[in-house]
Amino acid sequence: MRKVFFVITLVAIGCSPRKEKNEYQTLVEYEGHYEYLGKTTIDLVASEFDTVLYAVLDNSKYPLTYIEKDSFVNIRNNPVVFKRDGSGKIFSYRSGGQDFKLLNKEFEKMEMFPRRELFGNADNYSYGIPENKNDGLVSGDLFKEFSNPETIINMVKETIKGNFPEVHGILIFKNDKLVLEEYFYGYDANTPHQLRSANKPLIGGILGIAIDKGFISSEKEKLLPFFAAKYPNIDNLDDRKKEITIENFLTYRHGLDCENNNADSKGNEMLMMQSEDWVKYTLDLPMVAIPGQYSSYCTGCALTLGNLVEIATNEKIEDFAKKYFYQPMEITNYKWDFEPNPSSKNTFSQMYIAPRDLVRLAKMFKDGGIWNGKQVISKDWIIKTFDMEEGDYGYLWEHKYFVIDGKRYNSYLASGNGGQKINIWPELDMITVFTGGNYNSYELYGKSTPPNEMIPNYILRAL
């Protein structure tokens, strides 16, 4: 999933003017654990680092714009107004026509500093070789694997200074060695991170396993017959829709009126998420092209393919993935509830995986589906996964390249809202992994997430 809106919504991180110290103390008044939509809760936390009040939901930070005492606005310029009792203490806030009570002033606050111990002293950062953890990742020295490693060191320092805000993790795996592993804002190696849309390519791999094991004969099969029993009446059914194959959904060449980045598309994921059944909503969309004609990025495709695995295997995709995807990789520190319906409106049916395990998964894909001598996904499926045209999609992976000083650097990309980036660089024998919290940065502010600057300007230049 690429975007989400909340009643307390976003302003661009770092866009609010820096306030004086005493204004930070004023913001502390609004801190607390509050009621939120759908019987959930939300935390409001004042940041001493940048003097902004943040709403924190599912470990995701969304800044509020200060207007005047007790008054803030969200990205839609709707007011967020705090209420005080007779003694002057805040007891609730009002937004979107609803009141949300303060439940507790004492709560566990999210870390607001990139590196609290280095605040104001980022140049004191000292590189260290990543720890060997007997997880299949061999550690290496950044200074031995890159010809100009100082650019990467500078990138880490800039992140500590806050110049690349809300980057939560940076990992670089070069020449079969983990040479950089850095975390920020309280995250660490053991924290499973939300992937947003970066989990789509992993669903593609899980589907590949289902085909490898014979639950589905081929990705060339027609898609709709698998859903005939579950959805006997598909809307907008015509000859073009009947011809959609599983592979058409894997490559986003579906022909449906579905484009995430087009607000006018009927399949835009924000409209899909308002429906009661996200898979049915996707399959009901009208056709606008012949399947296979051109690609159009559509969240509903990956969700439908996840549901296809469940139909074909007759078990929940989480259980199937645990047996055939995660256990062979010896990955246990993850979370996944795949529910493509409104019960997932805050979690988006996404996976939560620790960053080192993302490196391991990327290495398995890079190595032809093999992990520690075990064939997790068939080599044939991996070859087809990465058989993609320039700037287009393979089996839910994207071809992403950068041109620097006339030289082109190619990668296979799994990307998610907020700055989740898993890049496999086959020509460089390298994997880069970023996790982050810059949610909706492009859709709302027209700004790219930090990794899109950090990769070409620091990592690739270190080569």
Residue 296 inside a domain? The answer is: yes
Which token pair is 293?
A: 């004609």
Q: Sorting pLDDT into bands at 50, 70 and 90, what band is 14?
A: very low
Q: Tell me, yes or no, whether 100 and 183 share the same domain.
A: no
Q: Can you give the pLDDT at residue 446?
A: 56
Residue 111 inside a domain? The answer is: no
Q: Tell me, yes or no, whether 100 and 151 share the same domain.
A: no
Residue 262 inside a domain? The answer is: yes
Domain boundary among 104, 135, 156: 104
Per residue in 112-135, pLDDT tens? 999 999 999 999 999 999 999 999
Of the chain, the percentage scoring pLDDT greater than 90 comes to 88
Q: Identify the domain containing residue 219 by its residue range.
A: 197-326
Per residue in 184-223, pLDDT tens? 999 999 999 999 999 999 999 999 999 999 999 999 999 9
Q: Tell me, yes or no, whether 280 and 366 share the same domain.
A: no
138 Rama class: left (phi>0) / alpha (psi -120 to 50) / beta: beta
Distances from the Cα of 335 to the Cα of 50, 205, 330, 352, angstroms: 31, 17, 14, 5
Q: Can you give the pLDDT at residue 448?
A: 85
Residue 7 inside a domain? The answer is: no
Least confident span in 37-41, 46-50, 194-198, 245-249:
37-41
Output the CA angle 194-414-242, nearest 5 degrees: 105
Domain boundary among 77, 104, 131: 104
Q: Tell me, yes or no, whether 47 and 98 share the same domain.
A: yes
Using CA atoms, how far apart are residues 420 and 437, in angstroms rounded to an integer?
8
Coil, strand, or helix at residue 15?
coil
Q: Tell me, yes or no, whether 390 and 320 share the same domain.
A: no
Q: What single string gives the DSSP state of each residue in 99-164?
A: EEEEEES---PPP-SSSGGGTT-GGG----PPPP-SSS--B--HHHH-SSTHHHHHHHHHHHHTSS
Residue 47 · residue 31 · CB < 8 Å: no
Tell me the average pLDDT of the chain.
93
Residue 209 inside a domain? The answer is: yes
Determine how many CB atoms are found less than 10 A away from the CB of residue 190.
Answer: 11
Q: Tell me, yes or no, whether 151 and 85 share the same domain.
A: no
Per residue in 394-410, pLDDT tens? 999 999 999 999 999 99
Residue 28 inside a domain? The answer is: yes
Q: Tell me, yes or no, whether 161 and 221 share the same domain.
A: no
pLDDT of 262 higher than 50: yes
For residue 88, what is the domain's CATH number? Answer: 2.40.128.50
Residue 90 · residue 84 · CB < 8 Å: yes
Residue 14 inside a domain? The answer is: no
Q: Tell me, yes or no, whether 210 and 309 share the same domain.
A: yes
For residue 232, what is the domain's CATH number? Answer: 3.40.710.10
Q: How many domains does the chain have?
A: 3
Q: Tell me, yes or no, whether 413 and 303 share the same domain.
A: no
Q: What is the mean pLDDT of residues 135-163?
A: 98
Q: Tell me, yes or no, whether 292 and 276 share the same domain.
A: yes
Beta strands per DSSP E along 275-397 = 334-336, 351-353, 370-371, 374-375
Token pair 């639950």: residue: 215
Using CA atoms, how far apart are residues 276 and 281, in angstroms rounded to an integer?
8
pLDDT of 313 higher than 90: yes
Residue 16 inside a domain? The answer is: no
Domain boundary among 309, 326, 343: 326
Token pair 């806030």: residue: 93
Q: Tell me, yes or no, whether 125 and 88 share the same domain.
A: no
Q: What is the mean pLDDT of residues 104-110?
A: 95
Closest CA to 342 of 394, 383, 387, 281: 281
Per residue in 422-452, pLDDT tens? 999 999 999 999 999 998 775 545 578 999 9
Q: Can you give the pLDDT at residue 221?
A: 98
Of the chain, the percentage scoring pLDDT greater than 70 comes to 94
Q: Tell me, yes or no, whether 213 and 93 share the same domain.
A: no
